[in-house]
Structure 1
């Protein structure tokens, strides 16, 4: 049975551009997998705690040697890791906040990053799985724009998800999302609308494409 792990992080609810695109992907994915399973986490509505020492060091300690505090702290890490390992596709909404990812998404990555299991091992348990990242942003950071080089979302996630976990990562980038709300960006509204249309179409086509590919 195919499994999709869908994680949203935007705090903008129904007004979120990243959520609109992840929802478009999920709708097509579910249509292609009528018997499939979706594991959903809304990290804005129900954030997970940032990784603390007990949970971190428990990952490097044999279960029989863990303290009661470590065992309790590691339970969430184990749950999040197992969700990722069960998934055939991991769908992440990653809007740009202050040039990088939401702290809630960083917390998820920190919990799932387990040396010797999901990363820093010859055969990471997530290696080869498909990951789709919807990296929306208020402006544009493409080559030739004034802000080119100041995007730390895609570069970081390529390292953390691709190099760190061994995931096969694809990015969908809805941009200029602030154009309808910032008077100085009014001339960019047509570009924003084109980007949104393209992103929704890409999400739908990618969901269909991944549906016919064998799981890792």
Structure 2
């Protein structure tokens, strides 16, 4: 059985379907999704439909991202944050046109059931963005850090590779877990088109919301699977390329 971790989808249903096919995912595979399922391409509501069905066949873990928090608020109370609408939320609202109240409620239940983080039996942490507490996720003061923080990734990137983990200067945040898997910060920012590794942190967000690809990684072998560049799959849309 494989465990695959999957990066930010941002409404790219075509990319998700292509990725599932290319990775040859079967019901034997465990799937960990790192969040941001919506906002960007035109298939946000349809991505949630797909994931709900997928959960019936696979052992799935769904981590909540910041875009999911915004969409959840909208589904629950019709709260449309201006920031959300300007960052893909408008496309998500449009994707729900024609959806019944009952189906929207089922989607809300799906969002509300998502985890803010997951730690597996091998002490590997999965979280959308990061965390700030030097004591680990169980001591995080503000839960918004789980889906907004970028400092964990920035710290890992700048860490001197020569520094041993036994050093007093080695970041305490990184010592708690064997590996940490995140999304949230597209690797396109660093001109990289595949998942990136820094220290024991793996960034799986390869920019599917923009001009990048949707990626999955086998966490044991580190084999990477990718869709086509998502903007090619939606030639008449801009996604979040605005």
TM-score by length of 2: 0.30
Between Structure 1 and Structure 2, which shows a larger proportion of helix residues? Answer: 1
Which structure: larger Rg?
A: 1
Between Structure 1 and Structure 2, which shows a larger proportion of strand residues? Answer: 2
TM-score by length of 1: 0.32
